[in-house]
Structure 1
Amino acid sequence: MATTRENTQAAREAKLGELHERLTGAVEQLVSGEDWARALAFAARFRARSFSNTLLIWTQHAGAYEAGRVPEPVPSYVAGYRQWQTLGRQVQKGQPGYMIFAPVTGRFATATPSDADSWRRLGKGEKPRPGEVVRSKMITARPAYVWDVSQTAGDPIPEPPAARLLEGQAPAGLWEGLAVS
């Protein structure tokens, strides 16, 4: 009889497989230069997300639009469930999220960073030994969900500050600091 942990792992693997199939399907639909240009323009709007995740969001949102679950054909702002709650918004009942890949990271330590074989994974709460360097590294991915703002209700989303031309004298050395190649 399979344990709960094995069942959970099997369910996660199945979701990751489904996600990989969706991603493969999305890439296969990018057949022309125009298709790629639209996909890249869309991805540029979601710079914090990987290109793979932006494709997944794009295709799942298109499906939600076709099904009448969202009012616009292109998502405008996506976030996870808890992120929406911190913004004073709640995902509307019955709105399925868009499944994406979320990185799972681990902490690794070594006293000799140049030796690739010397890195050891730190356990939860484990502190590095004196003199060790610690780095985080992605070790796998797990399925996670995000929702478009149109799938939520609550407080208005704060508008980003509008760019405005600065006035007055620039601090000494500002231009030289920016112009260094």
Structure 2
Amino acid sequence: MKKFNKKSDEQKKQELEELAKRFEEGIKAYIHSDRFKELLTNLSKFHTYSIRNSFLIAFQNPKATYVTTYPKWKSLNRQVKKGEKGIQIFVPIKRTVEMETEENVLDADGQIVCDAEGNPLKRKEVKNYIKYKIGYVYDISQTSQIEGKEEKELEPCKELTGSIKNFDEFMGNIAKISPVPVSFEDIQSGAKGYYSDMEKKIVIQSGMSDTQTIKTSIHELAHSLLHEGKTGTELSRSTKELQAESVAFIVCQHYGIDTSDYTFGYVGSWMEDEEQILQNLEIIKMCSSNIIDKLDTLMA
């Protein structure tokens, strides 16, 4: 984190405008980039699993994110690690059977057609049915990149690394300005953090890098400030995520923390269209300014 220097209101306003512009340009550049196109192409190779199979996957591996078969992982230049146990799912198998009906076979004149022994021939029809067998899939965490092969883009966000000077003080100040308690847990879903409007709390995944922890904490803080009580249809999920991650980007940039590798991919994967950024910029700047003012006061 860069050395803290308190800025005037005019300087802050100008900085917010510049950071918002940099954010907008960065997102647009990302979603038109070859990396984003490659990511979408690669992700299209993953199956959409039924509700029953989704429950099975979550039960066996709660942290699973990208799941596919052994051969598909090979096609993505990844090898299932030795000793890894497959996740069981139900695999549908289509079967076709020809069945005799009760209807007689009629000729062109409408007369019943009989076999050589004089028995009326019955009309047959083909019926399709599905049976299931047990199949196995593997999560990306159970695989590793095949050495010497091209690495495929699979994650829209790159995990942030790096330490932050005065991390404990910075994290403590975030907790102080939060309208709800902030705690650390091992989140079983694999999420990096969440804000619970029902329980009025923010939970952050423990054990992450300083940079990822600060970025995630500000993201969830933005949710608590902007989306408290908005569990209905006032805002779409994509708009909420765009707003929260955009605020995290601007606030972090203000303190010299670059989250581009994570933010651009995250927002790009949630965006409905490019106009969505422009429609939410004022709200993003207002919330960012609010957080920065409060943090600056504590840090001063």
Length-normalised TM-score, structure 1: 0.41
Q: Which has the larger radius of gyration?
A: 2
TM-score by length of 2: 0.26
